[in-house]
Chains A and B, each alone.
Chain A
Amino acid sequence: EAGVVQSPRYKIIEKKQPVAFWCNPISGHNTLYWYLQNLGQGPELLIRYENEEAVDDSQLPKDRFSAERLKGVDSTLKIQPAELGDSAVYLCASSLRQGSADTQYFGPGTRLTVL
């Protein structure tokens, strides 16, 4: 069974440029998560989807970040414009159902560097 797929693995951009990350969850997983992981920190939830509905986006900086999960399968996270402080690893995870009872499976992440 294929795991969570993320692309690109690495991205280097200049500040004020836009950037997008893509995630394909494990087949059949209804819940999808985007996390931000700063250097030396644990992951922090940005947004959680249940199928195509964003059920928790309270930690998503909506002035510059946006996300979508069309058709309830793969998802895209966008930053526009990027700032220096956005340099981090962006992790995608998926689970069969919502709630901590279900194991979250993580992708390898996208490492973003903003110059």
Chain B
Amino acid sequence: AQSVTQPDIHITVSEGASLELRCNYSYGATPYLFWYVQSPGQGLQLLLKYFSGDTLVQGIKGFEAEFKRSQSSFNLRKPSVHWSDAAEYFCAVGDDKIIFGKGTRLHILP
């Protein structure tokens, strides 16, 4: 069965520190992979997506993610977080239908 696991419900980092949000998936073939961000009271916004090719994907707002087939992972990274990055982050997988993980809430310390 297709599934997405985000093992961290909450993560807290200091402003300016690096960030890595974990995502593991279970899928029958190489899936399409996504990261979305949801700020309070807002809809989801696509940060980046992977379909094929280069396994390191660049997204908006300085985010990147790396697809590792051997680990079934698609972790999201940012070298230096800003206070405005505080939000909920969702990893998603799918082809015809997208399945979302449960999300990781990112807190930023000043």
Which residues on A are within 8 Å of B, measured CB to CB?
3-4, 40-45, 48, 56, 91, 93, 98-101, 103-109
Contact = CB atoms under 8 A, between A and B. Distances in A.
B96 interface: yes
Chain B at the A interface: SS class: strand
Interface in B32-46: 32, 34, 36, 41-46
A106 B97 contact: no
A99 B95 contact: yes
B98 interface: yes
B32 A100 contact: yes
Interface of B: 4, 9, 32, 34, 36, 41-46, 49, 51, 90, 92, 94-98, 100-103
Given A56-B97, A100-B98, A42 B92 contact: yes
Contact of A91 (B4, B34, B43, B94): B43
B1 to A, nearest CB: 14
A113 to B, nearest CB: 15
Nearest to B91: A42
Most buried by A among B44, B49, B100: B44
A109 B92 CA distance: 19
